[in-house]
Structure 1
Amino acid sequence: MKTRLLLLCALALAACSKGADNGSTNEAAVPAAPDKAFAALTGDAAAGEAAFVQCRLCHTVEPGKNLIGPSLHQVVGRKAGSLPGFTYSTAMKNSGITWTGEQLYRFLAAPAKTVPGTRMAFAGLKDPQRRADLIAYLETK
């Protein structure tokens, strides 16, 4: 079990270093548009806490504590790439995104498509309900 966890950590760290930010990007973040699928869902914060387990390798919800990724404490309503003390990719800093529920829903489905050039190596959370649950949980933190 320990070996498997170490392997997962090593793979995550290696993935984060691939495509390192060179300070420029030719692509912009996908513009926000109303998402009817998100609007139709009701998130469950308790189920979202369980979904957050897969985020814990890189993120925390503790204020002021960054890991491989930034703290997600009070992420809802925050401008992307703006948390002091964390070094974001140029793409994330210049995305123009404010993390609303809809924006998080879109981003969590496909981070690299939503913000081309992001260093977030996560492929995405495909299940719409799990994304809505995760967002409900983040709204409480």
Structure 2
Amino acid sequence: MLNKLLAASALVILPAGFALAQDDAAGGDQEYEITGDAEAGERVYRKCQACHMVGEDAQNRVGPQQNGIIGREIAALEDFNYSDALVEKGEAGEVWTPENLNAFLENPREWAPGTKMSFAGLRKEEERADVIAYLAQYNADGTTSE
């Protein structure tokens, strides 16, 4: 009896630890499971700020601004000059899902050979999940969905 109660409790409690990011940029009907810690991701994102911005005043730098990136087609910002590797992925209809971002952030040059991104990647899975959770908070206009 106690085991059944614990199992049922886990099913109720477990989903509370997960956030969902909705794809508003491409129609608004796709949801993605986000498992990282956005607060921790903000700290990890400092590694990215030399080249990228996110938030209400975000602009393109060496890398594109990252507002609304979850669910956005790869290489979709018209005012940024992407590498051919990312343009090809975008033309093939690929989207920045949490899974694609995870793979790209782990090893950008392996996931998109020919990318202009010189960053070596985030080797720790937890750091990648946290950065993705941090980015998932931002809508395309730079406001947060909190």
Please confirm whether the aligned pair reaches a TM-score higher than 0.5, indicating the same fold. Answer: yes
Name the aligned partner's letter for residue 110 of structure 1: N
Write out aligned runs for 1:13-32 (5 A): none
What is the DSSP-based 3-state SS (H/G/I as helix, E as strand, rest coil) of the residue aligned with 2:46? helix
- Structure 1 segments, 4+ long, off by >4 Å, are none
Distance in 2 (alpha carbons) for counterparts of 1:98 and 1:117: 18
Larger radius of gyration: 2
| Cα separation, partners in 2 of 1:42 and 1:62, compared to 1, 3 Å | closer
Counterpart pick for 2:113 among 116, 119, 123: 116
After superposition, give the CA deviation of every residue in 1:81-127 in whole Å (9 maximum; x if it has no partner).
11121001111100133100011011100000000110000101000
Aligned mates of 2:80, 2:49 — CA distance in 1: 16
Structure 1: stretches of 5+ with no match in the other structure: 1-38
| Structure 1 partner of 2:85 | 91
Give the aligned partner of residue 81 of structure 1: 75
The answer to whether structure 1 residue 43 and structure 2 residue 54 are counterparts is no
Q: TM-score, normalised by structure 2?
A: 0.66
Aligned identity (percent) is: 42
- Give the Cα–Cα distance (whole angstroms) in 2 for the partners of residues 134 and 90 of structure 1: 25
Which has the higher mean CA deviation after the structures are superposed, 123-132 or 60-69? 60-69
Once residues 138 and 42 of structure 1 are traced to their aligned partners in structure 2, the CA distance between those partners, rounded to angstroms, is 12
Alpha-carbon offset, residue 42 of structure 1: 2.8
Q: What TM-score comes out, normalization by structure 1 length?
A: 0.68
If asked which structure has higher relative contact order (CA below 8 Å, sep 6+), I would say 1
Of residues 58, 63, 74, the one that matches 1:69 is 63
Give the RMSD, CA atoms, in angstroms.
Answer: 1.6
Q: CA deviation at 1:66?
A: 0.3
Given the alignment, which residue of 46, 58, 68 partners 1:53? 46
Larger strand proportion of the pair: 2
From 123, 136, 142, the counterpart of 1:139: 136
Gaps of 5+ in 2: 1-32, 139-146
How many residue pairs get aligned? The number is: 102
Letter in 1 for 2:84: T
